[in-house]
Structure 1
Amino acid sequence: MKNITLTILLFSYSFILAQTPCVGGMAGTYPCEGYDLLSHISFADLDATNANDSWGWIDPQDNKEYAIVGLDNGTAFIDISDPINPVYLGKLPTSTGSTIFRDIKTYNNYAFIVSDNNGPHGMQIFDLTRLRSVSNPPETFSEDAHYSGFNNAHNLVINETEGFAYAVRTNTFGGGIHFINIQDPLNPVAAGGFSGVYTHDAQVVTYSGPDPDYAGHEILISCNGYDEDVTIVDITDKANPQAITSFSYTNSNHAHQGWLTEDHRYFLLGDEADEANTGINTRTIIFDFEDLDNPTQLSEYFGPTAAIDHNGYVLGDSYYLANYAAGMRVIDISDIANGNLTESGSFDVYPPNNVASFNGAFTVYPYFESGNIMISALSYTDNNYPGGFYLVRDSSLGLNDNSLNTSISIYPNPVKNLLQIDIKDSVQITNIRVYDALGRLILLKEDQFSSVDVSKISTGLLFIKIETDQGSVTKKVVKE
């Protein structure tokens, strides 16, 4: 029993740290304000030495949510339909050597993945519906299609409205923007490009903002890194893209990434180098895009720490910022028209400090319908930092008890021979899968769901995944 207990402790620490409320400014060892920790998987337990960018997918068939996490050696897929007990389904290995920079976006149930290394990585395409039928996680996946029109790309942008992908800072178009038609996802087609900029990251929208000159046009906003400026491009005609304007801003160092408000009126920009170079606190620059030909700098917002800002995304009246060593910062932008922003919450995934370093939160993904928020985190210099995948939730929404989770109970725990399953609330079980601590499927039960015979299973930690007509739930038990 002592060995089993040690296994549980090690496993809980390194693989899944589950549901810890934010109390008194802390969720376990993590500083927080208004956000609870649901779960955590380190990059080491995703069989990698670092993590980077991330994105999400909601399966339209059953609304199950999946996290897609970029790693230095590939891309991980995680079932988060039970957010307290996420299941690492497997990895798509990189098509070339390892890299700290990988980017993922989704379109029509496919993931599109690029990598910024020196090899001919191109763009990997993965059919996400394959995640519905993973029987023995974690699996090693293969890509479903490949686009080789470029070698490397620092970032990838997709306009899901139009069905086009835009790879930026590739070895084509002078480091500008490489257009790909992905309307048939498994048969991507080169569609031109735009040069004259050295794009670091971008956003593309089918424009519905206040400038009538561009209503319905496809507009690309290119953040040009150390060129210290931003370029707006009309890319409606792929064969003849037109630069609308370029603009800079006060104390410019590295125009890293930005995002429009949902009404396309305001643009929030992060400069990745100003904190380290000038000693200021985290700065977000706000622009008024009422006239796309003449953007104006409206105001600046300064955060409470000196940490470097990275990727930020808007959802409603909130701006979710990956703030490296300061973790996720949630900023209220409801009064952005008057240039007023205020921090409304935070979850710091890098507890050691809040200095201007490249350790901690790389990307925040706030677009899951459940309200759960993913943070992917990396380490540049701290070998003791676990990084990887974090799932958090606004405390005001209540801890994610998962109504399905409370409708199914299992006992005894620990168990020696027969595990009893109790069901209520008219839930119908379709199958029960038992996994060991390494994620290997060791038992599949497809009928007679009132109990599971585990007498022939070796001692240790088990994960019991129960599939139902209302989704799935995973519970942990100890086999004695």
Structure 2
Amino acid sequence: MINNLLSAAVFCLLCLASTAIADSTQNLGEAASGNPAISAADCVNGSAGGLSCNNVNLWSQIALDEFSSDPQHANDIWGFYDLNTEREYALIGLRNGVAIVDVSNPSAPVEIDTVAGASSTWRDIKVYQFFDETSQRFRAYAYVTTDASNIGLRLIDLSTLPHTVGGSVAISPELRAHNVYITNLDYTTGLAVDGVPPVLYTAGSDLSGGRIRAYALDVPTVLTLAAAAPTGGDSHDLSSVTIRDARINQCPGATNYCVVLIDANEDSFQIWDATNPANPFRLSLTSYAGLGYVHSAWFTRDGRYAFVQDELDELDFGGNTRLRIFDMSNLAQPVLAETWTGAEAAIDHNGFVRGNRYYLANYTRGLTILDISNPVQPAESGFLDTFSAHNLATFDGAWGVYPYLPSGNLLLSDINSGLFVLQDQTLDSPQGTFSIAATSGASEGSALQLAVSRSGGASGAVSVAWDTQPGSASTLDYVSGAGVLSWADGESADKVISISLTADGLSEDPERFFVRLYQPEGGATITPPDVASVFISDAGAPSSMGFVAAAQQVGERDTLAIVMVNRRGSAEGALSVQYQTVDNSATSGTDYTALSGQLDWAGGDATARSIEIPVLADNVAEGDEDFQVILSAPGGGVLTIDIANVTIRNVANSAPTANAGFSQTIREGVTVVLDGSNSADPDGDLITFAWVQTVGPAVTLNNPDSAITSFVAPQVNASVTFNFQLTVTDIFGVSSSAITAVTVTNTVSGGGGGGGSSGAPMLIFLLSVTLVIRWQMRPAADI
């Protein structure tokens, strides 16, 4: 009986240990990376390029092995809309840094730069953008935290785009932190909300016991500590909402608004009045039945509800994805209003609200989109499964999603498969969709009329809220406003927003502010454009156009030379100009692709224009070369800088470095893994792999054109050495090789033995191993 019990216990412990090992491996994000990228595909009959889907199209993917840093996995993601260039970017956290990817053309994303960093499974990224009066342009910074590393909160200057970014600089006393968050920002533009200063928070750092720490952003490159939370445990993630309704009476620090911060605190979530960041006040601490690990949360736009992600409930208690929705009417006592249960067992990770959709990074299920027209009755409206192996409760697949780009395109980071750019097709509704013109303008001293349309359906009574947001124009230049537009059942005519523009008597270029649509009601949705750029012009000022810079440089491997053209003077009236490239020392067809065309602006539009010129890498040792871009035939205005000189910096190609891994001694019958993933190209170019056997009896290599290959060691009568050569080749056909040796030994039978109590030490040993593994799996940082 004892032996039977011991056998059963050992078997169960082996199962537990193997499960723990598997989960620990997934926790470290080491599951298969290097899956090939999938080409653009619409979701048709439940499939987009072989990925299961519904109402979500695939624009593009950058697989992990297509990034220049050759990361082993990806983690979090954020987006950036550059108001200087109108270009859209993905900022994706990688095992070894942060990659900045231009996704302005969603079907052809381009890696612009990668800022290297310490090796870590966990990174978090947020972006703050503001108008710099001194330079008269927008500046932007990405703030990056890294857990399990001692490199501090890092700052990356994004203001030097579109060709490069500034290197990262440590700007806070923290050595590590799990998450970073900035309150009071518009998530599309990264600009501060009207009249409310932004505050940067760290969560789960090595200081203040892991509690939240608040930093003022008065000088964005020099953080000033406002306060650390006076109570509470280790914080994991944060989000906030600024409320102006009757609930401000529940906030001791409220003025005419209250900044409500939700702190996902692992074993609870805490609600803080963070209106005064130097004196935060905890309003409540909430737990719930079936709690595993409170990972993150996000508010609806009006702050009436909070969606809470628990990262361990599916794993610990079984069942399918569970997303909890809390009623936040009473900030001192949030009430669980509903628990949405998904179709699969996948774990919920990070989620975000835009309009009446909830975008959920759902680990092995990929992206899940919920219709939250009624927040307490969510319904799945779409998904795309980026991890096709299974939909079980493991830590593989989608880590984060960013749904706030002006284009409406979605950015998703997948631990195993890199970056996905997706298209949301869930927004059609019989109640209609709301949108607003992307650009408009008028002269100062006038009243601007902005039309908001309801299209695609007119069933039922619906409404949408709007407000204004400063940009380069402040509230001294226009009368800020907010309101709600309503349509009756069957009504579809446009509604008008009227905004007064102030005459300040100053001579200046067009100034810009924004009008945002949000909070659709009645089942209607919001479709891009939902943020309008409004340009205020001096009355009677002439229009002009010209290059932003008369000279610029690009690298031969930069893929694109992006030359910017600005409209100045007045934004009123239509404008056009023609452009063409002209050879200098650089030759079209060899060094770059010749281009010509016309740029057009409608009346009221003063957004920048890009001329994208493909740069060709020829792998020829040569000096720098240049060509020109020339503007001509202006229509509706005059030219300023009409010639831009583009220099292509040539750097000689370097051969890649092959690394075939260590030599091994293996017993016959064992699967042998040959790992060439540490091979690299010093120029950051993509490389291909080719394994061949050079010595020993012939064996069959699995996937010999991948970084990692394998074979089964054959039976041998005595030790036999096998040699394998790995050749890596860059995009120019330059190669290098390395050899590794595998010695296969004959299996030697071992003696049996032992009865008695020998099972007890083994049981203790397995218990110890299992406990150690489970301890390593604990969610001390992210999972």
Contact 1:20-1:27 within 8 A present in 2 as well? yes
Matched with 2:673 is: none
Matched with 2:53 is: 32
Matched with 1:62 is: 85
SS in 2 for 1:320: strand
Select which of 439, 442, 446 maps to 2:628.
Answer: 446
Cα gap change, 1:437 to 1:57, in 2 (>3 Å)? farther
Contact 1:21-1:395 within 8 A present in 2 as well? no
Q: How big is each residue's C-alpha offset from its partner over 1:319-340, in whole Å with a ceiling of 9 and x where there is no partner? A: 000000000000000012xx21
Q: CA deviation at 1:184?
A: 1.2
Select which of 173, 182, 190 maps to 1:149.
Answer: 173
Distance in 2, Cα, partners of 1:429 & 1:300: 46
Contact 2:590-2:618 within 8 A present in 1 as well? no
2:424 maps to a residue whose letter is D
Matched with 1:433 is: 614
Matched with 1:205 is: 241
Cα gap change, 1:57 to 1:431, in 2 (>3 Å)? closer
Contact 1:123-1:147 within 8 A present in 2 as well? yes
1:206 maps to a residue whose letter is T
2:387 is the counterpart of 1:350: yes
2:201 maps to a residue whose letter is Y
Matched with 1:321 is: 360
Distance in 1, Cα, partners of 2:320 & 2:592: 54
Matched with 1:83 is: 106
Q: CA deviation at 1:33?
A: 0.6
Distance in 1, Cα, partners of 2:410 & 2:38: 15
Cα gap change, 1:418 to 1:288, in 2 (>3 Å)? closer
2:114 maps to a residue whose letter is K
Matched with 1:466 is: none
Q: CA deviation at 1:256?
A: 0.8
Contact 2:314-2:321 within 8 A present in 1 as well? yes
SS in 1 for 2:161: helix
Contact 1:256-1:270 within 8 A present in 2 as well? yes
TM-score, length-scaled by structure 1: 0.78
2:159 maps to a residue whose letter is T
Matches within 5 A, 1:400-411: none
Q: How big is each residue's C-alpha offset from its partner over 1:151-187, in whole Å with a ceiling of 9 and x where there is no partner? A: 1111111113422110001111111101111221111
Select which of 23, 27, 41 maps to 1:20.
Answer: 41
Instruction: Give the structure, 1 or 2, with the largest relative contact order (CA under 8 Å, sep 6 or more).
Output: 1
Q: CA deviation at 1:42?
A: 1.5
Contact 1:120-1:148 within 8 A present in 2 as well? no
Q: CA deviation at 1:21?
A: 1.1
Q: How big is each residue's C-alpha offset from its partner over 1:52-110, in whole Å with a ceiling of 9 and x where there is no partner? A: 0010110112321011000111110001111111110111111xx31110000011211
Matches within 5 A, 1:229-308: 229-308=268-347
Cα gap change, 1:288 to 1:366, in 2 (>3 Å)? same
Select which of 125, 128, 136 maps to 2:158.
Answer: 128
SS in 1 for 2:155: strand
Cα gap change, 1:221 to 1:319, in 2 (>3 Å)? same
Cα gap change, 1:420 to 1:259, in 2 (>3 Å)? closer
Matched with 2:715 is: none
Contact 1:116-1:154 within 8 A present in 2 as well? yes
Contact 2:240-2:262 within 8 A present in 1 as well? yes
2:121 is the counterpart of 1:100: yes
Matched with 1:377 is: 414
Q: CA deviation at 1:447?
A: 3.5
Select which of 149, 166, 170 maps to 2:201.
Answer: 166
2:405 is the counterpart of 1:389: no
Matched with 2:73 is: 50
Select which of 229, 236, 259 maps to 1:218.
Answer: 259
Q: Where do 5+ consecutive residues of structure 1 fail to align? A: 1-12, 380-386, 401-407, 409-414, 450-457, 459-477
Contact 1:259-1:267 within 8 A present in 2 as well? yes
Q: CA deviation at 1:396?
A: 6.6
2:299 maps to a residue whose letter is L
Distance in 2, Cα, partners of 1:43 & 1:210: 48
Greater displacement, 177-186 / 263-272? 177-186
1:34 maps to a residue whose letter is N
Q: How big is each residue's C-alpha offset from its partner over 1:97-128, in whole Å with a ceiling of 9 and x where there is no partner? A: 311100000112110001001x4211111111
Cα gap change, 1:52 to 1:165, in 2 (>3 Å)? same
Q: How big is each residue's C-alpha offset from its partner over 1:387-411, in whole Å with a ceiling of 9 and x where there is no partner? A: 111000024789x9xxxxxxx9xxx
Q: CA deviation at 1:197?
A: 2.3
Contact 2:592-2:613 within 8 A present in 1 as well? no
2:202 maps to a residue whose letter is A
Contact 2:235-2:264 within 8 A present in 1 as well? yes
2:176 is the counterpart of 1:176: no
Contact 2:308-2:325 within 8 A present in 1 as well? yes
Matched with 1:365 is: 402
SS in 2 for 1:259: strand
SS in 2 for 1:129: coil
SS in 2 for 1:277: helix
Cα gap change, 1:436 to 1:85, in 2 (>3 Å)? farther
Say what the alpha-carbon RMSD is for the aligned residues: 3.5
Q: CA deviation at 1:232?
A: 0.7
Distance in 2, Cα, partners of 1:104 & 1:113: 5
Distance in 2, Cα, partners of 1:310 & 1:186: 30
Q: How big is each residue's C-alpha offset from its partner over 1:272-322, in whole Å with a ceiling of 9 and x where there is no partner? A: 101111111000101100111121110110011000000000001000000
Q: CA deviation at 1:205?
A: 2.9
Instruction: Return the index of the structure with the highest Cα Rg.
Output: 2
Q: CA deviation at 1:218?
A: 2.2
Q: CA deviation at 1:133?
A: 3.5
TM-score, length-scaled by structure 2: 0.49
SS in 2 for 1:212: helix
SS in 1 for 2:315: helix
Cα gap change, 1:418 to 1:45, in 2 (>3 Å)? closer
Distance in 2, Cα, partners of 1:305 & 1:133: 42
Matched with 2:645 is: none
Distance in 2, Cα, partners of 1:190 & 1:418: 50
Cα gap change, 1:419 to 1:212, in 2 (>3 Å)? closer
Distance in 2, Cα, partners of 1:443 & 1:32: 47
SS in 2 for 1:354: coil
SS in 2 for 1:276: helix
Distance in 2, Cα, partners of 1:279 & 1:330: 22
Cα gap change, 1:352 to 1:15, in 2 (>3 Å)? closer
Matched with 1:191 is: 226
Cα gap change, 1:356 to 1:443, in 2 (>3 Å)? farther
% identical aligned pairs: 32
Select which of 141, 148, 153 maps to 1:110.
Answer: 141
Distance in 1, Cα, partners of 2:618 & 2:299: 43
Contact 2:309-2:323 within 8 A present in 1 as well? yes
SS in 2 for 1:250: coil
Q: CA deviation at 1:355?
A: 0.5
Q: CA deviation at 1:238?
A: 3.0
Q: CA deviation at 1:433?
A: 3.3
